[in-house]
Amino acid sequence: MKKRRIWATSPVYYLMAGFMLIMACLSFKQNKILFAVEFTVSVLAVAAVVVTDLHYRVHVYTAIRAARRVLSAEDQRDFDQFALPVAVLGNLGDIVWTNARFRDLFSEDEDSRGDNIAAYIYPKTLRQILSESGTAVSYGDKEFTAYGLRTGSGSVVYFVDDTYYKQIHREYREKRTVIALISFDNREELTRDSSGGEDSRITSEVEAVLRSWATDTMGGFLRRLTNGRYMLITDDLHIEEAKTKRFAVLDRVRAIKGENNLSATVSIGIGRGADTATQSEWHARQALDMALGRGGDQVAVHLRDGTYEFFGGLSKGVEKRDKVRTRVIAATLSDHIKSSDRVFIMGHTNSDLDSVGAAVGMWAAVTRGLECRASIVIDRNRSLATSLLNTFEHQPEYENMFITPQEALDQCTQRSLLIVVDTHSTSFVESPDVLRAIPRVVVIDHHRMMVTHIQNAIIFYHEPYASSASEMVGELVQYINGSALNKREATALLAGIMLDTKNFVLKTGVRTFEASAYLKRRGADTVEVKKMFANSLDTYKERSQLVAGAEVYKNCAIACSNWEFPNVRIAAAQAADELLSIQNVRASFVIFRTGNEISISARSLGDVNVQILLEEFGGGGHLNMAGAQIKNSTTSDVRKALIRVLDSKLAQASKREN
């Protein structure tokens, strides 16, 4: 920072005033009037300099006296020889006096009096130093902890030179052991239909990349744990360096291809900032679960404060699921249901066809399949699935099927079970109060793992590769009791699948068709589903208006709706879907207002991870379909914030640029 003098030393002014006086005397002989004017002005100048100087001396004297009262030891040891660098400041932060040590370390024999202390402590401020008990400050290649004291007429700042200790601390931090756990995501999928030698070729190629990364780049070493799992031991400095390259090892692994032209991918969980190696390993495990839960092909770093940083995660991932797991979960879930007095099923806020469809499927499995009492907790006023809800209305067999969150709170007991479907986020569930009130919770979800996930669920059935929660429930029901579903309920589940797959276009895997085939056998009616998607003419018009008003920025279509209208959520979601059919649009964002909230619906065809982008707004979802809600803002502010996020994050969220 440039030094700026607050006041100047007086000798120059004395000289100038004296010079003026001499000039005045010399003009006496030439012109009496000129002499009178010049003499008066120079006498006034001398007087002004003397007064200012006196004022300054008093200022310095009082500042030093006040400082002495604060700083000096009982024996009034010589202030100037005080071992720590000290600066006495006036009330504007101007340096009025410094001791020898300060001059040694800070001013290199230059006179620093009159400088603002800000020049020596930037970017920290005097106010910060005075309010904190020890502020880290660096000057040149030295590092200090600065302490400040207020005095009667300013302040005193003294500095403890801890360059050496900070250096050791930095080295300690950089050398701290970090454990990373690596999982080869798709070994089986890459080699499933290939010759025997293919498995060992791909495995050894992936292993070679990991091993050279571990030793040559990360200064550590790699150990194979079990087939497809590895442990890397390295240090914090190397993790920091790998971060700056955004973990390029992911790209090196992705360059390895199987016979079916599929790329190999790995997921890495890193435990950073832990106190011990045991803790680091535990955090690495949690981070690896996170990375896998978000679709793999990425790095998750568990930080000291329990938060995560993510890198990569741009591939769609291959369907990687295990029917045995589904069967085991169905059996365990049945046991929990049978040992509960009542089962509550709850989806996410602004429930849609998938969350309601999945809830209806679970309701049928519990009530008809296991003959236990169950209710679906829903806020009908916020639901986007009213067309589906209406099909269950006024039917005697579905009486009391849907209850409000308040009714659930009144009816639940400590022996109740809560099944959360189509979300795993504590803040996105239909009612966080119900989530808190029921101790035993089961989660069934397909969204990419969020940091705010429900903790301590007795079953956390999470399949980021499944198309929808309805597909997952469709499979579970078959194992709980295959004949539990009737035509109406099977249709509800099919509606959920068709919503999330955009009629079997996106995220549609083999198991999506298998689950749909089962639902069809149970009588699911595709024409009924089509009717559930029908919009009113008004909604249709609003949607078209949103699409027509979109702008394109960096190949992303952005539409804003400043007006609120019925079904704005559905119109916005559909507009976001539709914007993807415009040429060269890689992602779409629709910003709209609902009450005191601004929401964003984002979509992509897969080469932009919109989930990563909307996480910046506290939202989530999937790689190609995500949402977020922002409180107390305006559509134009959210649009500006989105542009900033696109400027800073679009490259890392896009496949092409990576």
Ligand X SMILES: Nc1ncnc2c1ncn2[C@@H]1O[C@H](COP(=O)(O)O[C@H]2[C@@H](O)[C@H](n3cnc4c(N)ncnc43)O[C@@H]2COP(=O)(O)O)[C@@H](O)[C@H]1O
Residues at the contact surface with ligand X, assessed by CB under 6 A:
348, 352-354, 384, 422, 425, 428, 447, 499-500, 533, 569-570, 573-574, 601, 619-622, 625-629
Q: Closest Cα to residue 303, out of 328, 272, 277, 333?
A: 272
Q: Closest Cα to residue 231, out of 290, 275, 184?
A: 184
Tokens representing residue 30 in the block: 């030439």
Query: Nearest approach, Cβ of 642 to ligand X (angstroms)?
Result: 14
Dist CA 19 CA 452 (whole Å): 76
Query: Nearest approach, Cβ of 354 to Mn ion (angstroms)?
Result: 4
Query: Nearest approach, Cβ of 580 to ligand X (angstroms)?
Result: 13
Angle (nearest 5°) at CA 72 between 68 and 76: 105
Query: Nearest approach, Cβ of 492 to ligand X (angstroms)?
Result: 13
Pick the closer one to Mn ion by CB: 143 or 352.
352
Query: Nearest approach, Cβ of 351 to Mn ion (angstroms)?
Result: 7
Helices (H), 550-634: 568-579, 610-615
3-class secondary structure, 296: coil
Q: Are 620 and 448 in contact (CB under 8 A)?
A: yes
Pick the closer one to ligand X by CB: 480 or 573.
573
> Which range touches Mn ion (CB under 5 A), out of 166-174, 271-279, 350-358, 573-581?
350-358
Pick the closer one to Mn ion by CB: 355 or 567.
355
Dist CA 40 CA 35 (whole Å): 8
Per partner kind, with CB cut-offs from 5 to 8 A, the member of Mn ion, ligand X, none near residue 499 is: ligand X
Helices (H), 256-384: 277-293, 323-338, 353-364
Instruction: Indicate whether 355 belongs to the interface with Mn ion (CB under 5 A).
Output: yes
Per partner kind, with CB cut-offs from 5 to 8 A, the member of Mn ion, ligand X, none near residue 619 is: ligand X
Amino acid at 419: I
Query: Nearest approach, Cβ of 91 to ligand X (angstroms)?
Result: 50
The tally of CA atoms less than 13 A away on the side-chain side of residue 408 is: 28
Query: Nearest approach, Cβ of 506 to Mn ion (angstroms)?
Result: 14
Dist CA 598 CA 11 (whole Å): 65
Buried b or exposed e, range 297-317, using 16+ CB within 10 angstroms? bbbbbbeeeeebebbbbbbbb
Dist CA 306 CA 293 (whole Å): 17
Tokens representing residue 101 in the block: 């040590």
Exactly one of 38, 143, 297, 422 binds Mn ion (CB under 5 A); that residue is 422
Query: Nearest approach, Cβ of 533 to ligand X (angstroms)?
Result: 5
Distances (CA, A) of 399 to 358, 375, 376, 552: 18, 10, 11, 49
Element (H, E) at 22: helix 11-26
- Dihedral over Cα of 188, 194, 200, 205: its sign: negative
- Dihedral over Cα of 48, 50, 54, 57: its sign: positive
Query: Nearest approach, Cβ of 348 to ligand X (angstroms)?
Result: 6
Instruction: Indicate whether 445 belongs to the interface with Mn ion (CB under 5 A).
Output: no
Per partner kind, with CB cut-offs from 5 to 8 A, the member of ligand X, Mn ion, none near residue 478 is: none
Q: Rg (Cα) of the chain, in Å, rounded? A: 35
Per partner kind, with CB cut-offs from 5 to 8 A, the member of Mn ion, ligand X, none near residue 384 is: ligand X
Query: Nearest approach, Cβ of 201 to ligand X (angstroms)?
Result: 38
Pick the closer one to Mn ion by CB: 203 or 387.
387
Angle between helices 469-481 and 353-364 (to 10 degrees): 10
Per partner kind, with CB cut-offs from 5 to 8 A, the member of Mn ion, ligand X, none near residue 377 is: none
Pick the closer one to ligand X by CB: 185 or 422.
422
Dist CA 349 CA 357 (whole Å): 14
> Which range touches Mn ion (CB under 5 A), out of 62-70, 125-133, 417-425, 520-528?
417-425
Instruction: Indicate whether 352 belongs to the interface with Mn ion (CB under 5 A).
Output: yes
Pick the closer one to ligand X by CB: 282 or 533.
533
Pick the closer one to ligand X by CB: 20 or 466.
466
Per partner kind, with CB cut-offs from 5 to 8 A, the member of ligand X, Mn ion, none near residue 629 is: ligand X
Per partner kind, with CB cut-offs from 5 to 8 A, the member of Mn ion, ligand X, none near residue 146 is: none
Pick the closer one to ligand X by CB: 416 or 588.
588
φ, ψ at 411 (rounded to 5°): -95, -20
Query: Nearest approach, Cβ of 460 to ligand X (angstroms)?
Result: 16
Dist CA 144 CA 151 (whole Å): 22
Per partner kind, with CB cut-offs from 5 to 8 A, the member of ligand X, Mn ion, none near residue 149 is: none
Pick the closer one to ligand X by CB: 428 or 460.
428
Pick the closer one to ligand X by CB: 472 or 499.
499
Per partner kind, with CB cut-offs from 5 to 8 A, the member of Mn ion, ligand X, none near residue 41 is: none
Per partner kind, with CB cut-offs from 5 to 8 A, the member of ligand X, Mn ion, none near residue 628 is: ligand X
Pick the closer one to ligand X by CB: 138 or 386.
386
The tally of CA atoms less than 13 A away on the side-chain side of residue 33 is: 0
Pick out residues in 310-329 that bind Mn ion (CB under 5 A). Answer: none
Pick the closer one to ligand X by CB: 100 or 384.
384
Query: Nearest approach, Cβ of 569 to ligand X (angstroms)?
Result: 5
Q: Are 524 and 491 in contact (CB under 8 A)?
A: yes
Dist CA 362 CA 364 (whole Å): 5
Instruction: Indicate whether 471 belongs to the interface with Mn ion (CB under 5 A).
Output: no
* Residues near Mn ion, by CB under 5 A: 352, 354-355, 422
